């Protein structure tokens, strides 16, 4: 039986010049469509952090799928880290730079109690900007980042270094 990493690698597609010229987009939707590979990826995401977190936070948009499955698997709550303007009510927010622009993440101020241990989940770790912003957002809410988990880490972009000394786990490491 193939490992979770092998299953993810076999199903991941690379789309050239998306969302702009020069970017090689790593498409994980085939992993989501394969029940066995999806389950294996989710189990691998949470395994290293077992018992060390209270809720799972998913980053919009593809991180939502993996985070929701992780929360369901582990019987924990789910926090959505959304793009700017998509949450009603009062929010905490963090602006950050992407490889190809800027963005903002937000979460409700009353989403979880202070001191909650949060496992942050996303699909891909590239330069680390989105995950760094997510970690900052969780901390602004008074919570603790229990770890950062991604399905795929891209080599040579420095994301893991940018996130140090945080605990980062990738199902498919760089």
Whether 162 sits among the annotated catalytic residues: the reply is no
What span, in angstroms and rounded, lies between the C-alpha atoms of 47 and 27?
23
Backbone angles phi, psi at 76, to 5 degrees: -110, 170
Mean residue pLDDT across the chain: 95
Of the listed 9, 43, 60, 99, which one is catalytic? 99
Residue 88 CB-density burial (10 A; 0-12 exposed, 13-18 middle, 19+ buried) = exposed
Residues 18-35 have pLDDT tens digits of 988 988 899 999 999 999
53 CB-side CA count, 13 A: 32
Q: What pTM value is reported for the model?
A: 0.95
pLDDT attached to residue 100? 66
The pLDDT of residue 98 is 74
Which one from 26, 43, 62, 136 is the annotated catalytic residue?
62
86 given a catalytic annotation:
no
- What is the predicted pLDDT for the residue at 99? 63
Instruction: Please count the other Cβ atoms lying within 10 Å of the Cβ belonging to residue 167.
Output: 15
pLDDT of residue 1: 83
- What pLDDT shows up at residue 84? 95
Look up residue 165 and give its two tokens: 């000394």
CA nearest to 169, candidates 130, 125, 138: 125
Start-end of H helices in the chain: 4-11, 29-33, 35-46, 62-74, 129-140, 159-163
pLDDT digits (tens, 9 = 90+) for 86-135: 999 999 999 998 766 789 999 999 999 999 999 999 999 999 999 999 99
- Which domains, and CATH codes, for the chain? 52-172 (3.40.50.2020)
What is the Cα–Cα distance from 36 to 125, expressed in whole angstroms?
22
The answer to whether the beta carbons of residues 4 and 147 sit under 8 Å apart is no
**What's the residue count for the chain?**
174
């Amino acid at each position: 039986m193939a490992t979770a990493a092998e299953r993810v690698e076999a199903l991941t597609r690379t789309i050239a010049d998306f969302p702009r010229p020069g970017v090689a987009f790593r498409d994980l939707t085939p992993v989501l469509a394969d029940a066995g590979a999806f389950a294996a990826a989710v189990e691998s995401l949470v395994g290293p952090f077992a018992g060390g977190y209270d809720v799972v936070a998913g980053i919009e948009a593809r991180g939502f799928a993996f985070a929701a499955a992780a929360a369901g698997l582990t019987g924990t709550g789910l926090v959505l880290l959304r793009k700017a303007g998509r949450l009603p009510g009062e929010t905490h927010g963090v602006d950050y730079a992407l490889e190809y622009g800027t963005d903002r993440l937000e979460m409700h101020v009353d989403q979880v109690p202070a001191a909650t241990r949060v496992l942050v989940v996303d699909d891909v770790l590239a330069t680390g900007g989105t995950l760094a912003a997510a970690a900052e957002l969780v901390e602004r809410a008074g919570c603790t980042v229990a770890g950062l988990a991604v399905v795929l880490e891209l080599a040579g972009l420095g994301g893991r270094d940018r996130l140090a000394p945080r605990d980062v786990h990738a199902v498919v490491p760089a």
